[in-house]
Amino acid sequence: MKKINIFKVGTTFPALAHNHGDFDRWTMEGLGIGEIETCVLDVEHGASLPAPEDCAGVIITGSHSMVTDNLPWSIQLEQWLPLLIQAEVPLLGICYGHQLLARALGGEVGYHPAGKEIGTVAIRLLAEASDDPLLHSLPLSFPAHATHSQSALKLPPGSVHLAESEHESNHAFRIGNCAWGVQFHPEFNAAIMRSYIEHQDKDLTSTGMDTVKILGTVEETPVAAEVLACFARIVFQR
């Protein structure tokens, strides 16, 4: 039985967790897997990192922490990631995981100069995505959910730039043959995205953002959700 290890590196807001579950549950539901076992490792709270050869696939979730906080568990994971890449284990980093992967391989992570991106945004695939194993079957433009203040400001040397939005130039990239980072959240549905916006209403308003307008753009994102199912197929077919 093949196993996908879900590295849980954060927890959502308590109210959201009560109503909708948490990052690991959303990720497992999005994978839609039957023949692939999943294992959740709560890395944020001290779970040991497995040997790369014991992983059929790895997903790193989102987090409310910042990569630049340089928390001990995050640094340990960052130093472990090149070993996974060398072993050619399929890897998908989501939001925080995307940024951590970028920095682990020589990129730069920091606060986005234009501020926070939040809501349902239009993702544009670049020409390099046309033959990408994970993204090639997706349309050139599709809606996806996003919420982040930090970004991969510079992608790692030798990486393949795959997607962007109007706000965020580095929404997806690939390292080698089977490691990807996506800044958007394929595991979110519309209800989760609305809850994130509503929960941060005061903070968003204080920075001049119109939460009513942002909420009005939220829609379901079935194409973005396909990223998780596509990743599961890549793992299973190896």
The residues annotated as belonging to the active site are 95, 185, 187
Distant-in-sequence, close-in-space partners of 150: CB < 8 Å, separation ≥ 6: 66, 67, 68, 99, 109, 110, 111, 112
In the chain, the amino acid numbered 130 is: S
C-alpha separations of 51 from 5, 57, 85, 117, 216 in Å: 11, 12, 12, 35, 45
Helix, strand, or coil (residue 4): strand
DSSP state at residue 68: G
Query: How many Å apart are CA 164 and CA 181, to the nearest integer?
Result: 12
Please give, one letter per residue, the 3-state secondary structure of 130-194. Answer: HHCCCCCCCCCEEEEEEEECEEEEECCCCCEEEEECCCCCCCEEEECCCEEEECCECCCCHHHHH
Q: What is the DSSP letter of 40?
A: E
Decide: 156 and 149 in contact? Cβ < 8 Å: no
Please give the backbone phi and psi of residue 151, each rounded to the nearest 5 degrees, phi first.
-145, 165
